[in-house]
A and B are shown apart, each in its own frame.
Chain A
Amino acid sequence: MPIFIVWALLCISTALNAQSRKHALLIGVGRFTSPEFSTLQSEQGVQLMCATLLAKGFMQENISTLIDANATRENIDRAFARLEGQISPGDVVLLHFYGHGVQVDDDNRDEADKLDEAFVPYDGRFADSRHHQQLLRDDDLGQYIDRLRARAAGAGGQVCVVLDACHSGSGLRSAGTYATATSNPPRLTRDPTGDAGSSAPLVVFYSSMPHQSSLETVVETGKRSALLTWAFCKSLGSLRPDATYRSLYEQVCLRIMEKVEQKQTPLLEGVPDYLVFGERLNSPPPYFRVLTLLGSKALVLQGGLLHGLQAGTELMFFPPDTRDTSRISPIAYGAVADKGLGFLECTVQLDRTLTESDALHSWVFVRAQRYGTYSVSVAVDADDPATGEILRRQLSEVPSLVFDSASPPELLLRSRRGRKLALQTPDGEELWNGGYAGTLPPDLRRTIDNFLQARFLRSLAFDGSPYRIGFSAGIPASGSPATPVGLSVRRNKEVTLLHVENLSPFVLYYTVLDIDARHAVSVLIPGAGWSPTEFRLKPGEKREHRVTFDAPGREVLKLIATLTPVDLRDVVASRGEAYEGKHFFEQLFARSYRSRGPVGMHVGNEVGGATVIVDVVE
């Protein structure tokens, strides 16, 4: 009998332990020892989060709260230490911060904008960016979270952070996704996915961009609440069981937009393709989001020429979290209209009426690419006439390719003995070579696309744009002045210093594309681990970036300046992972641009920019 009792107790204990794998630390600071901060409804916010988590399977005894006078800097440090001791491998951890956030001077040179973000504890003091005490800097918070991730590492382990405070974007500096100060553009210091096994995956919800304010306002209950906390809890409460953090984030954004439109832009960081508090899913194919409806059968899509969308491109609209478009029917079809096609947005005509809710929540996939006026002329040179004829027929099915005997071809496809293919430029540069087994190799198609994409980007000119930005390159050691063209550097040895200066009267964000000698395009800035929101220049502001090039040849660097942050790497996650080893941006571009026009044919009106050419030598 006693053995049975012990066994029963062990079973109960095991069951309880199995249920106790979700931990939460909720910190709400709405009252302060310092009078400069206004009072916040943090207690209500923490209670709302607590109730939401209890409904989602968290146990009361595993939820710790620190509210107002209890949330001193010292108590926060202790709470983290205590939580660290309670976590076992494979546990889920949720951290919630509700309070004031400030920006202070960066103390370890890891910030692009030279400002650290900091959370204000109950005893925090803030006079200005230099004079402050007891603040919880992003670097400190990042270290705490690194330790929690290390403890939770294991099957099912996960750390989710909800940071609801002003300037919260990038508020976890060094939490595994960020660079050290020495490299810029940086390299990942640690994988946010946790795939290496040493730390649990991380997903972070920030209430606003680093330079933005976060707001507390009256919500539908008539009570005051910080918007991210309210939107997160409300969305989490109504979420489908198979929803991911990606769709949770999108719902949060829509709810906040309902209240304050785009005055406050939440950010998502880390790995969005996990079920909420659950397992990992495959990343979805690249997709777009709807900005707004235009009448009953038209809408504005958040994607344009820079994302590879051309007039006539056919689109499919699916519910959120659709990962396999072959298994369900789309809720609507659409096509990119001629009118309203811009660099960053386009107008889409729908085949049927969509409700505003369905449209705003939908994931939009490309069904059939159209190339508009862009094309490239190609010639086939085959030593075997029969193979040459087959190749011409196969190439003629590629909509962007034309056989124009009246003018010199821009690409030459050579075939030898019907088995070997090589793609060359007219001056003999080989872009690709490989075997031929009767069908066009996908790599060949991709190489042609890359060629066209690179040429389109090279042709971008921004002379008429009001968003004027200075962009030049130099070698720091030489002391030579920066030059916009013709800089020659040695590969892997010499550092190239890129100078960026905002010459416009607007606040501008910028991204730098690198088109290499083999016509491959990649995003140089923001580098991995950085958010586009951090590459922001006030009027007259300057910034420098150090880069090295590892392959010889001519590099064309295209800087694109916009009024709002644009992530050409990924439509949704600002610091997410790449898609299946290939960059999202490259996938979008993969079948996009066809151009026969002269250099400089495109004049940016929504975007500004500049070009730098660097010759990389041995």
Chain B
Amino acid sequence: MNAYDYIEDYLNEELSGAALGVFEHALQNDPELRQAVERHRDMLGRLHTLRLREQVKKNLVSPRSGAAMLAVVNRRFLAAAAASVLLAAATYFWLTLPPGTESPAVADHIATPPDSSSVQPAPLAEESPVQIDSGQQTPAQPRSNGAAHADDPGARIAFVEAVRGLEKIDYIVMGETRKDSLLESTLNKAIHFLKTEKPSSAIPLLESVLAQNNTLYQDDAEWLLSLAKLGRDTKAGKAALEAIVQNPAHGYRRRAISLLGKLE
């Protein structure tokens, strides 16, 4: 029995009988195993926190009770009223401008008419809240994602192309280092979120992997995090990609250069 393969089972209290005895014996005698167990425990804790957070988000977005629904309606009414006041003020301001002048702030936001010949991808669908550990997504109402790429369709195309090619991470190191299946499963969950265009859900997972400082997965996590950031915000994504390009020893530098080239 290789005790390292049973860490997750042990922490999930799924070991029993002789297997549990063997594992606990190994745990007593192997300090590295103890460290690995602590690392896994920490990671599970982070995932649990994330799951709770997602659950809270889900409950906020999908209110079930009548009282909660009423509260949402009230909030929407107040928001609509505030927006009406702002719109009226802006209209008054615009009407009182001298002819021929234009507010720079307004000019900056005048949208260029779309080129009918170019590809106009649909805006990213915001991720649905997801049950992390169930392995199944809970369908929920799609929300606006804040139009992350509304001003940069090229970035959206680059993001979609980049995540389409992602493959499941499943490494066995042909040396003395042991496989860290928990980190791999976390990365693979993040890849799933990216491929289903839910970058915001991928980010905390990837940050939790990076916090482990595991050199085997560091570059993977940084690369995926840069994609997740790109999926949410072009500027942040570019900055993350540039950080990878600046490191000649980074395992994903070549892909980062190529992706940045597409974004230019």
Interface of A toward B, CB cutoff 8 Å: 35-38, 40, 99-102, 126, 164-167, 207, 213-218, 224, 226, 257, 259-263, 291-295, 298, 300, 344, 506-507, 562-564, 606
Q: Does chain A have a CB within 8 A of B1?
A: yes
- List, sorted by A's number, 5 A–B pairs whose CB atoms are closer than 8 Å: A37-B176, A214-B175, A216-B173, A226-B174, A263-B251
Q: In the complex, which residues of chain B have a beta carbon less than 8 angstroms from the beta carbon of A263?
A: 219-220, 251
Q: Does chain A have a CB within 8 A of B172?
A: yes
Q: In the complex, which residues of chain A have a beta carbon less than 8 angstroms from the beta carbon of B139?
A: none
Instruction: Report whether A563 and B248 are in contact in the complex, using a CB–CB cutoff of 8 Å.
Output: yes
Instruction: Report whether A166 and B172 are in contact in the complex, using a CB–CB cutoff of 8 Å.
Output: no
Instruction: Report whether A262 and B253 are in contact in the complex, using a CB–CB cutoff of 8 Å.
Output: yes
Instruction: Report whether A99 and B249 are in contact in the complex, using a CB–CB cutoff of 8 Å.
Output: no
Q: In the complex, which residues of chain B have a beta carbon less than 8 angstroms from the beta carbon of A257?
A: 254
Q: A38-B179, A295-B262 are in contact. Are A564 and B249 (CB under 8 A)?
A: yes
Q: In the complex, which residues of chain A have a beta carbon less than 8 angstroms from the beta carbon of B258?
A: 292-294
Partner of A38, one of B2, B220, B255, B262: B2
What distance in Å separates the Cβ of B58 from its nearest Cβ neighbour in chain A? 33
Q: Which 9 A-B pairs have the closest CB atoms?
A: A166-B175, A294-B261, A263-B251, A216-B172, A563-B248, A214-B174, A563-B249, A292-B258, A213-B173
Q: In the complex, which residues of chain B have a beta carbon less than 8 angstroms from the beta carbon of A562?
A: 248
What distance in Å separates the Cβ of B202 from its nearest Cβ neighbour in chain A? 19
Name the residue of chain A whose CB is nearest to the CB of B3.
A35
Whole-angstrom CA separation of A263 from B250 in the bound complex: 8
Q: A291-B254, A294-B258 are in contact. Are A216 and B174 (CB under 8 A)?
A: yes
Q: Does chain A have a CB within 8 A of B94?
A: no
Whole-angstrom CA separation of A285 from B240 in the bound complex: 39
Instruction: Report whether B251 and A213 are in contact in the complex, using a CB–CB cutoff of 8 Å.
Output: no
- The listed residue with most B CB atoms (<10 A of its CB), out of A218, A257, A507, is A218
Q: Does chain A have a CB within 8 A of B170?
A: yes
Whole-angstrom CA separation of A164 from B174 in the bound complex: 8
What distance in Å separates the Cβ of B185 from its nearest Cβ neighbour in chain A? 14
Partner of B170, one of A224, A291, A563: A224
What distance in Å separates the Cβ of B172 from its nearest Cβ neighbour in chain A? 4
What distance in Å separates the Cβ of A468 from its nearest Cβ neighbour in chain B? 16
Instruction: Report whether A215 and B171 are in contact in the complex, using a CB–CB cutoff of 8 Å.
Output: yes
What distance in Å separates the Cβ of A398 from its nearest Cβ neighbour in chain B? 35
Q: A38-B2, A295-B264, A563-B249 are in contact. Are A215 and B255 (CB under 8 A)?
A: no
Among residues 1 to 35 in chain B, which have CB atoms less than 8 Å away from a CB atom of chain A?
Answer: 1-2, 4
Q: In the complex, which residues of chain A have a beta carbon less than 8 angstroms from the beta carbon of B75?
A: none
Instruction: Report whether B170 and A218 are in contact in the complex, using a CB–CB cutoff of 8 Å.
Output: yes
Q: A294-B258, A295-B264, A298-B261 are in contact. Are A262 and B174 (CB under 8 A)?
A: no
Q: In the complex, which residues of chain A have a beta carbon less than 8 angstroms from the beta carbon of B172?
A: 38, 40, 215-217, 224
Q: Does chain A have a CB within 8 A of B247?
A: yes
Instruction: Report whether A100 and B175 are in contact in the complex, using a CB–CB cutoff of 8 Å.
Output: yes
What distance in Å separates the Cβ of B235 from its nearest Cβ neighbour in chain A? 20
Q: In the complex, which residues of chain B have a beta carbon less than 8 angstroms from the beta carbon of A224?
A: 170, 172
Q: Does chain A have a CB within 8 A of B71?
A: no
The 8 A CB mask of B215-255 against A (1 = contact, 0 = none) is 01001100100000000000000000000000111111111
Instruction: Report whether A38 and B251 are in contact in the complex, using a CB–CB cutoff of 8 Å.
Output: no
Q: Name 7 extra pairs, CB < 8 A, besides A126-B176, A295-B261.
A: A164-B174, A166-B174, A217-B171, A218-B170, A261-B255, A295-B262, A295-B264
Whole-angstrom CA separation of A40 from B174 in the bound complex: 8
Whole-angstrom CA separation of A493 from B131 in the bound complex: 75
Q: In the complex, which residues of chain B have a beta carbon less than 8 angstroms from the beta carbon of A166?
A: 173-177
Q: In the complex, which residues of chain A have a beta carbon less than 8 angstroms from the beta carbon of B36?
A: none
Instruction: Report whether A262 and B176 are in contact in the complex, using a CB–CB cutoff of 8 Å.
Output: no
Q: In the complex, which residues of chain A have a beta carbon less than 8 angstroms from the beta carbon of B262?
A: 295
Q: Does chain A have a CB within 8 A of B257?
A: yes
Q: Does chain A have a CB within 8 A of B57?
A: no
Instruction: Report whether A36 and B176 are in contact in the complex, using a CB–CB cutoff of 8 Å.
Output: yes
Partner of A261, one of B1, B248, B251, B261: B251
What distance in Å separates the Cβ of B82 from its nearest Cβ neighbour in chain A? 45
Name the residue of chain B whose CB is nearest to the CB of A42.
B174
Q: Does chain A have a CB within 8 A of B178?
A: yes
Q: In the complex, which residues of chain A have a beta carbon less than 8 angstroms from the beta carbon of B143?
A: none
Q: Does chain A have a CB within 8 A of B168?
A: yes
Whole-angstrom CA separation of A260 from B251 in the bound complex: 8
Instruction: Report whether A507 and B174 are in contact in the complex, using a CB–CB cutoff of 8 Å.
Output: no
Whole-angstrom CA separation of A239 from B138 in the bound complex: 48
Q: A562-B248, A563-B249 are in contact. Are A216 and B171 (CB under 8 A)?
A: yes
Q: In the complex, which residues of chain B have a beta carbon less than 8 angstroms from the beta carbon of A261?
A: 219, 223, 251-252, 254-255
What distance in Å separates the Cβ of B263 from its nearest Cβ neighbour in chain A? 10
Whole-angstrom CA separation of A298 from B257 in the bound complex: 12
What distance in Å separates the Cβ of A262 from its nearest Cβ neighbour in chain B? 5
Whole-angstrom CA separation of A547 from B251 in the bound complex: 35
Q: A40-B174, A213-B173 are in contact. Are A218 and B168 (CB under 8 A)?
A: yes
Q: In the complex, which residues of chain A have a beta carbon less than 8 angstroms from the beta carbon of B257?
A: 291-292, 294, 300
Instruction: Report whether B174 and A99 are in contact in the complex, using a CB–CB cutoff of 8 Å.
Output: yes
Whole-angstrom CA separation of A295 from B175 in the bound complex: 38
Q: A261-B251, A294-B257, A295-B262 are in contact. Are A35 and B174 (CB under 8 A)?
A: no
What distance in Å separates the Cβ of A34 from its nearest Cβ neighbour in chain B? 10
Whole-angstrom CA separation of A563 from B247 in the bound complex: 8
Q: In the complex, which residues of chain B have a beta carbon less than 8 angstroms from the beta carbon of A506?
A: 249
Name the residue of chain B whose CB is nearest to the CB of A168.
B174
Q: In the complex, which residues of chain A have a beta carbon less than 8 angstroms from the beta carbon of B173?
A: 38, 166, 213-216
Q: A261-B251, A262-B251, A563-B247 are in contact. Are A165 and B261 (CB under 8 A)?
A: no
Instruction: Report whether B249 and A213 are in contact in the complex, using a CB–CB cutoff of 8 Å.
Output: no
Whole-angstrom CA separation of A98 from B111 in the bound complex: 59
Whole-angstrom CA separation of A198 from B254 in the bound complex: 43
Whole-angstrom CA separation of A263 from B187 in the bound complex: 16
Q: In the complex, which residues of chain A have a beta carbon less than 8 angstroms from the beta carbon of B250?
A: 262
What distance in Å separates the Cβ of A58 from its nearest Cβ neighbour in chain B? 25
Q: In the complex, which residues of chain B have a beta carbon less than 8 angstroms from the beta carbon of A35?
A: 1-2
- The listed residue with most B CB atoms (<10 A of its CB), out of A213, A214, A507, A564, is A213
Q: In the complex, which residues of chain B have a beta carbon less than 8 angstroms from the beta carbon of A215?
A: 171-174
Whole-angstrom CA separation of A262 from B248 in the bound complex: 10
Q: In the complex, which residues of chain B have a beta carbon less than 8 angstroms from the beta carbon of A101?
A: 174-175
Partner of B175, one of A165, A259, A291, A563: A165
Name the residue of chain B whose CB is nearest to the CB of A227.
B174
What distance in Å separates the Cβ of A388 from its nearest Cβ neighbour in chain B? 50
Whole-angstrom CA separation of A217 from B176 in the bound complex: 16
Partner of A100, one of B176, B219, B223, B249: B176
Q: In the complex, which residues of chain B have a beta carbon less than 8 angstroms from the beta carbon of A291?
A: 254, 257
Q: In the complex, which residues of chain A have a beta carbon less than 8 angstroms from the beta carbon of B177?
A: 166, 213
What distance in Å separates the Cβ of A97 from its nearest Cβ neighbour in chain B? 10
Name the residue of chain B whose CB is nearest to the CB of A126.
B176
Q: A38-B2, A167-B175, A293-B261 are in contact. Are A217 and B170 (CB under 8 A)?
A: yes
